[in-house]
Chain A
Amino acid sequence: QPVLTQSSSASASLGSSVKLTCTLSSGHRTYIIAWHQQQPGKAPRYLMKVEGSGNYNKGSGVPDRFSGSSSGADRYLTISNLQSEDEADYYCETWDSNTQKVFGGGTKLTVL
């Protein structure tokens, strides 16, 4: 089954950019993933799905500052012009017919 690996934490300064990584396990590097944001005390929110080609499709209302990309087994979420409200946990998700659904461990983003 696919395994998703994320760094446990990341930090960046207000107004700067940050790139979060989600790495697919061996044998699953073509999988599509989705990114979700969970602000403190809130439910997760869908941000976008990212394909192996690098194409990405954002959810409704997701700011232009959020973008996705891909390289090999890595799927990225880039946040530009960081705002204080971007401080949150970010989870990647993937799926297949056998496993149904898998989540990465999440990255806690701190905005300095």
Chain B
Amino acid sequence: QEQLLESGGGVVQPGGSLRLSCAASGFILSNYGMHWVRQAPGRGLEWVASIGYDGNNKYYADSVKGRFTISRDNSKNTLYLQISSLRAEDTAVYYCAKIMISRAAIGPIDYWGQGTLVTVSS
């Protein structure tokens, strides 16, 4: 069964950085595009970034462009999100999520991780 397990969240000061990780199991990560989606406290879901199955195509929401970097290490079955120049409005639970269709550029999410909380506060 597919599973995604995020880690790396925590409390960080404004302007600080963190690296979030998402360990995949139960499927071959290298076959699937992946996303990061976040949810601020009491708010809805917001797409953050995506990466193609081979790592060649990366896309970012305007709100994080230039500050966040998505990457993957298929040999370790792990997805990453480097988050930098953090602001209070980046406080959220960050979820990694898997695209349904193998080797597709786009498509629906069919599995979500349990999330990791990032709190930006001085």
Do A and B pair up? The answer is: yes
Binding site for B on A (CB under 8 A): 32, 34, 36, 43-46, 49, 59, 89, 91, 93, 95-97, 100-106
Inter-subunit contact B106/A100 (CB<8 Å): yes
Q: List 8 A-B contacts (CB under 8 A).
A: A46-B110, A46-B111, A100-B35, A100-B59, A100-B106, A101-B50, A103-B46, A106-B44
Inter-subunit contact A101/B47 (CB<8 Å): yes
Inter-subunit contact B105/A93 (CB<8 Å): no
Inter-subunit contact A97/B108 (CB<8 Å): no
- Which secondary structure characterizes the binding site on chain B? strand
> Which residues of B sit under 8 angstroms from A45, Cβ to Cβ?
112
- Which secondary structure characterizes the binding site on chain A? loop
Taking residues whose C-beta sits less than 8 angstroms from the other chain, chain B's interface range is: 20 to 34
Binding site for A on B (CB under 8 A): 35, 37, 44-47, 50, 59, 95, 100, 105-115
> Which residues of B sit under 8 angstroms from A106, Cβ to Cβ?
44-45
Min Cβ gap B93→A in Å is 8
Inter-subunit contact B109/A34 (CB<8 Å): yes
CB-contact partner of A95 in B108, B114, B115, under 8 A: B108
Inter-subunit contact B45/A34 (CB<8 Å): no
Given contacts A91-B45, A103-B46, contact A44 B107 (CB under 8 A): no
